[in-house]
Amino acid sequence: MARFAAIKSALTGALLAAAITGPAQAQFSGWKERTVPAAAATVHVTELPAQGRETYGLIRQGGPFPYGKDGTVFGNRERQLPIEKRGYYREYTVKTPGSRDRGARRIVCGGPVKAPHACYYTADHYASFRQIVE
């Protein structure tokens, strides 16, 4: 019984230490270093749905875009993307077959409009992002 108590105490201590130090270490990383969560890191452009590849192509050629909101500023209020100044990110609709509205799929690009530094795909209306790689 004493052995079980010792193991339980050691595990509890280790979990408590991890819980305390984990968030503290995250706070000290620079705000510019924030990246997209590792679990959803990247998606190759060829892995995007057909509508996503089409939207990505339109972004790269500068339009024209089918939706009036395409190219508008994305505020990054969810803070899922690296923190940048307002106006850095722009959003574009990825058509969702069967949807009566714009649906939940978007591509968000950061940097110059005609030559973005990075683009991110979300299929769940900004809850998660994957950076598009070529």
Q: Which of 6-10, 39-43, 87-91, 126-130 has the lowest mean pLDDT?
A: 6-10
- In the structure encoding, which two tokens stand for residue 64, read together? 């024209």
| Whether the predicted pLDDT of 33 surpasses 80 | no
Question: HSE-up of 85 (CA within 13 Å, CB side)?
Answer: 2
So which residues are the catalytic ones?
91, 125
Q: Which amino acid would we find at residue 113?
A: V
| Whether the predicted pLDDT of 19 surpasses 70 | no
Question: HSE-up of 95 (CA within 13 Å, CB side)?
Answer: 11
What is the residue extent of each domain of the chain?
1-30, 34-133
Give, for 108, the enclosing helix (H) or strand (E): strand 106-110
- Give the architecture (CATH level 2) of 34-133: Roll (3.10)
What is the side-by-side order of every strand in the sheet holding 89-93?
42-44, 130-133, 118-122, 106-110, 89-93, 72-73
Beta bridge partners of 93: 106
pLDDT tens digits for 79-118? 999 999 999 999 999 999 988 899 999 999 999 988 999 9
CB 70 within 8 A of CB 119: no
